[in-house]
Amino acid sequence: MRIADAQWVPSTPHQTWDALFDPAVLQRCLPGCIRVNRLTDTEYTITVRAKVGGMDAEYEGEILVSDLKPPESCSLAFDGKGAAAGLAIGTAQVSLSPKDHGTRISYTVAAMAGGKLAALGEPAILKAGGKIIDKFFDAFGSHVAAQPRQAPPPPPPAPEPRGLVASRWSWVMALAVVVMLVGYHTLFK
């Protein structure tokens, strides 16, 4: 199963990025979300209650974030298991870009289901997934719109130059060595 789409939210890319990685925001905006825990900067656990094709189940899952390029893009790997419903695993590519005084969030999700969930069929799963995504972006868009706009953080400082070019004292030392060598050869040879 594959879903590719884009959404626009009324927030700057850096604020959108921060909100997408905030467990409290995710828990508030994701339909049926019971809890989101950040284990590390790139690992999350999540518990969600979802109804797919008439089957209501609770899923425990893990999300691993990689290829981080804040506030532009990342990759996600996820899995979710429901005791009665089966499992879902997949990956997602997410990109953020400035658009119309807000942020365009592009995403491509590739997922597979197993167990009773897979028996429902891809059309039912895609329909339920689309509803969850729509509800998430409605809630997420409302959340970020209510936040005051902030200027982007300053870029990191440029690294200090190294080597002879960077230090006046390095040149003085090099010149002193040359003068000593020339003086030695001139006076003592």
Q: What is the pLDDT of residues 126-168, one digit of tens each?
A: 888 889 999 999 999 999 999 988 877 777 787 776 655 556 6
What is the b/e burial string over 172-183, where b = at least 16 CB atoms within 10 angstroms of the residue's CB?
A: eeeeeeeeeeee
Q: Report pLDDT for 52.
A: 78
Q: Report pLDDT for 168.
A: 64
Please name each of the domains of the chain with its CATH number. 2-146 (3.30.530.20)
CA–CA gap between residue 78 and residue 76 (Å, rounded): 6
Q: Report pLDDT for 149.
A: 84
To which H or E segment does residue 29 belong? helix 23-29
Q: Report pLDDT for 20.
A: 96
pTM listed for this prediction? 0.77
Please give the DSSP secondary-structure letter assigned to residue 160.
Answer: P
Low-confidence ranges of the chain (pLDDT < 50): none
Q: How far is CA 160 from CA 7, 39, 167, 172, in A?
A: 40, 34, 10, 19
CA–CA gap between residue 21 and residue 23 (Å, rounded): 6
Residue type, 106: S
Q: Report pLDDT for 51.
A: 82
Q: Report pLDDT for 117.
A: 83
Q: Report pLDDT for 24.
A: 97
Q: Report pLDDT for 184.
A: 63
Q: Which of 133, 123, 49 is nearest to 92 (CA)?
A: 133
Query: The tokens of 81 are what?
Result: 């298991």
Q: Which residues contact 162 (CB under 8 A, 6 or more apart)?
A: none
